[in-house]
Amino acid sequence: MKIIKRDGTETDFDRRKIADAIRKANRAGVPELSDEWIDTLALTIEKDCQKLNRAIYVEEVQDFVESGIMKLGAFEVAKRYIRYRHQRNLTRKANSTDKSILSLIESNNEEIKQENSNKNPVVNSVQRDYMAGEVSKDLTRRLFLPADIVQAHEEGLIHFHDADYFAQHMHNCDLVNLEDMLQNGTVISGTMIEKPHSFSTACNIATQIIAQVASNQYGGQSISLTHLMPFVQISREKITKSVEKEAAMLGGKPEAEAVSKIVEERLREEIKKGIQTIQYQLVTLLTTNGQAPFVTIFMYLNEARNEREKADLALVIEEMLNQRIEGVKNEVGAYVTPAFPKLIYVLEEDNIREDSPYYYLTKLAAKCTAKRMVPDYISEKMMLELKVDKTGEGRCYTCMGCRSFLTPYVDENGKPKYYGRFNQGVVTLNLVDVACSAGRGKLEEFWKILDERLELCHRALQARHKRLRGTLSDAAPILWQHGALARLAKGEKIDKLLYGGYSTISLGYAGLWECVYALSGKKLTEPEGEELGLEIMKALNAACAKWKKAENMDYSLYGTPLESTTYKFAKALQKRFGVIPGVTDKSYITNSYHIHVTEPIDAFDKLLLESKFQKLSPGGAISYVEVPNMQDNIEAVLSVMKFIYDHIMYAELNTKSDYCQDCGYDGEIKIVEDDGKLYWECPKCGNRDTSKLNVARRTCGYIGTQFWNQGRTQEIKERVLHL
């Protein structure tokens, strides 16, 4: 069993150190405990720690020591132990940030090493970002947030997201207006970038825009392939002139059909070149936070304005899928699954049935999903039902990153607007803690505590909003001045974009499954549990509606994609309530409204049930089904996709895509337990060196490739197959 020290370093658990600490407190005054009792108590504490089935933090051990001494009636010893612990905490507090920074520089801070599954913590740029983040979190705790919100965050009642960026005037997610920037020009690092004259140049500029945007916000961003599609025709015309010129130089007059054939062949090469630029640039670029841009690419045929443009868009989508199926080469030259860009493919009438004109693209998407876990799927049919704006029309559009959705919006000219909008930030409520605080069957107490916690989240969200209010466009010119989000003047404040629904601000929630079970003893898959779960979701939406009406700000309910926070919440719950079977007995809690990963249920029942909850999560939500290797069963993938089209707005299929650099094994890398800790291990050669393993797993809406903390690793290990 491992123990994690205060500076984040990990070491072997040693029961003797517990016994020595108790003996010191016992001898500091009149002794109340014999050596035999102390040794027995230390052994009991060790067993209690082992029951948690994970690496334990030193503060948790000390909590066990305090309660253990008091249970033995040695109250004076307990006082001396608590007093000494308090004095040591005060000493450490003055310099805790320094120690955190030093431990992350030496790459021995276990918590930070596993905080983000798409950041490599040994890389200088990542360490620099983490160092700045530690300073920002320190400032946030001491200066920017009320003490009760800081305390609630530290105790795991809520999670104040991205405190490592809060000191700056930065926001969360973007839906980039790539069309405006490409058609009307933009400015990157003080250099004017005019409208491109070819598809490949447009793709190159798009990657530079994405990198710049990623360096000026901290969440995900999305672009649409539709905004690149007009440049296909520009390249076609350019290539046609070139071919005709070549023919004239040779003194010939080729048939129009022959010219057209040559042009289309060269055009496909141009498209291939452009998509390669996007794929390899986005995989190899490092933004200022030390990771590849967290970007989603949207593929929606019905976004095209006419049939000719739709056909050109289909060419681009086809190439994007083909290149993603191939993958990218790792450091030893083997093709592996990249984490980004994330792809979303819209299922629509033109591509969902065997007789649809673009069904061939849907089959290609299914093949890509089976091999590389992307694209994910949006149902145009369901989205048009759920995303209706004030004109009465349904709209289909992409999320901002992995799941954060804007709410329907119509501008002052009566036109729907999505590109160029953003999310101000997120605060997540730990629903499990609310339920455990109330107790089994005490619904009246639950609703009372829920109201109190919601108001706490409300004030935390207001703090996020106020931090952005007054921000000058100069803080991020690419965003506010040069078209990614707006074209404000230099020195102009962004305030008008924070109100009236132009941007959203998100109330996140986590652990609905455990919350319902803690309250009622029923699962979300049972009628009583489903009814209670939906009632809770409606209450969360009602709170957002109340705040929105009072403040003219678009508060929206968001199914939080917990990554490292799932572990944080689980530890906090065990500390506050102990181990409650079915509630706090894991090192993770369930994301958003999801059915628990261990629950046996088939893919279609899971998607159908979760669709009811997804409707009540307008600020963002995604459902998934866990599947085995489907590369030889594409028809089964297509059947799930067709079910998604008819029943749920946004969903994905999770498979595995791994590689061992030591032995060349390209099957599933397994998770094994050793001395209370989980490790990734090649089943062929036993390699556990993560620097020589390529593992890709859907973490929480997006793919992670840099490994995970113990809580998330346990969750991945325990996932059951739904197909």
Helix, coil or strand: residue 166: coil
Judge contact between 485 and 479, C-beta under 8 A. yes
Q: What Å distances lie between residue 537 and 516, 533, 534, CA to CA?
A: 11, 6, 5
Q: What number of residues does the chain have?
A: 723
Rounded mean pLDDT, 449-465: 98
Per annotation, catalytic residue among 203, 373, 402, 641: 402
Structure tokens at 183: 């058609």
- Which alpha helices (H) appear in 250-340, and where do they start and end? 256-284, 307-326
Buried b (16+ CB within 10 A) or exposed e, 330-364: beeeebbbbbbbbbbbbbbebbbeeeeebeebbbb
Mean per-residue pLDDT of the chain:
91
State yes or no: pLDDT of 92 exceeds 60: no
- 357 φψ region: left (φ > 0), alpha (ψ -120 to 50), beta (else): alpha
Rounded mean pLDDT, 266-271: 97
Tell me, what's the pLDDT at 126?
A: 67
Per annotation, catalytic residue among 425, 511, 701, 704: 701
Where is mean pLDDT largest: 30-34, 100-104, 404-408? 404-408
Tell me, what's the pLDDT at 108?
A: 54
- Whether 700 sits among the annotated catalytic residues: the reply is no
Residue-wise pLDDT tens digits, 293-337:
889 999 999 999 999 999 999 999 999 999 999 999 888 898 888
Per annotation, catalytic residue among 400, 457, 537, 682: 400
Tell me, what's the pLDDT at 712?
A: 83
Structure tokens at 384: 């048009």
Tell me, what's the pLDDT at 222?
A: 97
What is the pTM for the complete model shown?
A: 0.86
Nearest to residue 514, comparing CAs of 496, 532, 527?
532
- Whether 564 sits among the annotated catalytic residues: the reply is no
Tell me, what's the pLDDT at 124?
A: 65
CA atoms within 13 A on the CB side of 170: 20
Nearest to residue 222, comparing CAs of 399, 411, 472, 101?
399
Judge contact between 510 and 430, C-beta under 8 A. yes
- Whether 235 sits among the annotated catalytic residues: the reply is no
Per annotation, catalytic residue among 100, 177, 235, 404: 404
- Residue 111 to residue 98: CA distance in whole angstroms: 16
Sheet containing 10-12: which strands, arranged edge to edge? Answer: 10-12, 2-4, 56-57
Confidence of residue 599 (pLDDT cuts 50, 70, 90): very high
All residues at 6 or more sequence positions from 690 whose CB lies less than 8 Å from its CB, including other chains? 680, 707
Per annotation, catalytic residue among 110, 270, 563, 626: 563
Tell me, what's the pLDDT at 256?
A: 86
- Whether 515 sits among the annotated catalytic residues: the reply is no
All residues at 6 or more sequence positions from 683 whose CB lies less than 8 Å from its CB, including other chains? 665, 667, 668, 669, 670
Tell me, what's the pLDDT at 601?
A: 97
- Whether 404 sits among the annotated catalytic residues: the reply is yes
Judge contact between 45 and 18, C-beta under 8 A. yes
Tell me, what's the pLDDT at 705?
A: 74
Rounded mean pLDDT, 24-32: 90
Residue-wise pLDDT tens digits, 133-169:
777 788 888 888 999 999 999 999 999 999 988 988 9
Per annotation, catalytic residue among 116, 235, 351, 423: 423
Where is mean pLDDT largest: 35-44, 94-103, 422-431? 422-431
- Residue 346 to residue 703: CA distance in whole angstroms: 19
Q: What is the DSSP string of 570-624?
A: HHHHHHHH---TTTTSSSS--BTTPPPTTS---HHHHHHHHHHHHTT-TTB--EE
Higher pLDDT, 298 or 244: 298
Per annotation, catalytic residue among 173, 299, 382, 544: 173
State yes or no: pLDDT of 454 exceeds 90: yes
State yes or no: pLDDT of 113 exceeds 60: no
The values of phi and psi at residue 491, to 5°, are 80, -5
Residue-wise pLDDT tens digits, 385-399:
999 999 999 999 999
Where is mean pLDDT largest: 173-187, 279-293, 702-716? 173-187
Residue 353 DSSP label: S
Q: Which amino acid is at 616?
A: L
Residue-wise pLDDT tens digits, 519-563:
999 999 999 999 999 999 999 999 999 999 999 999 999 999 888
State yes or no: pLDDT of 596 exceeds 80: yes
The values of phi and psi at residue 504, to 5°, are -115, 165
- Whether 663 sits among the annotated catalytic residues: the reply is no
- Whether 552 sits among the annotated catalytic residues: the reply is no
Structure tokens at 500: 């009236």
**H/E element, 549:** helix 527-551
The values of phi and psi at residue 535, to 5°, are -65, -40
CATH class of 174-386: alpha beta
Residue-wise pLDDT tens digits, 345-358:
999 999 999 999 99
Per annotation, catalytic residue among 26, 116, 172, 222: 172
Residue bearing tokens 């703090």:
463
Per annotation, catalytic residue among 558, 588, 645, 702: 558
Higher pLDDT, 149 or 703: 149
Domain with CATH 3.20.70.20 in the chain: 174-386
